[in-house]
Chains A and B, each alone.
Chain A
Amino acid sequence: MIKIDKNISTHFLYPSNLFAAKERHMVTTILGSCVAICLYNAKLKYGGINHYMLPLWNNNGLATPRFGNIANQKLLEKMLQLGSHKNHLAAKVFGGANQLNSSINIGGRNIDIALSFLEENKIKLIGKSVGGEVGRKILFDTNTGSVLMKYVQKSIPQIK
């Protein structure tokens, strides 16, 4: 049984958005084929998270964090802006399910983008739960860096 203090601020992270704050927040998000990277700085005790739907921005339209390459870069920038050093960051990666069982496998490509981003930026990956065929609901504590996760069935089809 996990108890969550009611006094802690909460934030629901929508797809194509990102969140990072120095104050403690419990951030909830629901992932299907989308991927979320949680970045955490254990020294300064704060974290940030993104939630992207597609792997790469195709240079058409706005460069929003709907796309992995944009979302990851922007999350890292935000963490650095808040005073982090790249070397002090650790990451957890979630999502990327192949829910539609499609051959395009967007989930898989989303995961690849996340992992290669972390590798390129030499950010330590300390936990991941990716792939599979069911969605995930995660709860990220930006103060401790801990993530609670549960699998969710297709009953919430609107949220990718």
Chain B
Amino acid sequence: MEKLTDEELLKELKKRFEMNKRMVYIHKELMNDLRKANDKLLASEKVQTQFLSNIRNEINNPLTSIMGLSQELASEKSISKQCSRKIDLIFSEASKLEFQMQNIIVAAELEAGESPLYVVKVDVDSLIKSVIQSFEYLSTKKNIKVIYKSEFPKSEKTFNTDSDKLKIILSNLVMNALEFSDEKSEIFINAKTVDANTLIISVVDTGEGIDKDNFDKIFGRFIQLDSGSTKKHLGHGIGLSVVKSLIDSLEAEINVKSKINKGSTFTITIPQGYIKDQMNSFSNDGDDFLFFDDSDVEVI
């Protein structure tokens, strides 16, 4: 290394300090830009979440009326055949709308952090049957056979989990399978328990399938792979993002296997939940407690 005179050394040091100062300045500027972009993101996020939670009642109440009234009308005997077909249609369209609304509301609740777990003993077998039944209209219309095979041992009729959440997960998977399957095809639902502590349910369709590169994308919010004006399918891409969040809250896992034009298999693996007796389990005799009070904590 060449030797520098004192003057040269000072000059070099000064130059480096200047450079350092500039770098710090640039860094600060970049940080400011980032912060601004972040604020904008948060603001748009907030608007959307508030919107979702506000519209809940505005939409739910009229929808319930439409469904209730059309059901009541359908049961009247004095109505002509043509008229009752139209009433059927009103009912089925309203129930589709209700399904989509349910997803939107569940998404809003999840995003608001107001979606606690209610773990109860669930009769999974009848829950799956009721889900299949709720889509009977759609499956008959598309002439799709839904074949359900259960492998539950007789001794284990119930499984501890959150039944509402499980129902929404299954409804979405079955709805998707029906939506993305061709007419006159088959959908298989298999359910079993492993080691008595794990519930495995798979929904298999022979529909159009998903490209492997897109496996991660499908659980994103508002993402439907085929979007735009040529979009062929119902929905707005919220279903699987809701499924993913619900799966997370059940500490479960979801697995996708799929081949283009061959069909997809969605498998969920759910661990047995704990039925908690909330406060009663809070022992306050004999255990060590740390008592925090404003007077005995460190104030920073």
Chain A positions within 8 Å of B, measured between CB atoms, are: 1-4, 10, 12-19, 26, 28, 42, 50, 60-66, 70-71, 73-74, 77, 90, 92, 124-127, 129, 137, 139, 145-151, 158-160
Contact = CB atoms under 8 A, between A and B. Distances in A.
B51 interface: no
Interface of B: 42, 45-46, 49, 107, 110-117, 216, 219-221, 241-242, 244-245, 248-249, 251, 271, 273-274, 276, 278-279, 282, 284-285, 287-294, 297-300
Contacts of A77: 46
A137 B244 CA distance: 27
Contacts of A146: 291-294
A14 B117 contact: yes
Nearest to B272: A158
Given A62-B221, A63-B45, A14 B278 contact: no
Residue from B49, B113, B220, B273 with most neighbouring chain A CB atoms (10 Å): B113
Nearest to B46: A77
B245 A66 contact: yes
B245 A62 contact: yes
B113 A17 contact: yes
A62 B113 CA distance: 11
A160 B241 CA distance: 22
B116 A137 contact: no
A4 B241 CA distance: 40
A45 to B, nearest CB: 13
A71 B112 CA distance: 9
Nearest to B49: A63
B219 A60 contact: yes
Nearest to A149: B290
Nearest to B245: A62
A126 B284 CA distance: 24
A60 B216 contact: yes
B111 A148 contact: no
B279 A28 contact: yes
Contact of B112 (A13, A60, A74): A74
B115 A148 contact: no
B110 A124 contact: no
A74 B111 CA distance: 9
A1 B285 contact: yes
A17 B115 contact: yes
B290 A64 contact: no
A14 B292 CA distance: 22
A160 to B, nearest CB: 8
A19 B115 CA distance: 11
6 contacts: A3-B284, A26-B279, A60-B219, A66-B249, A92-B297, A158-B274
A11 B285 CA distance: 21
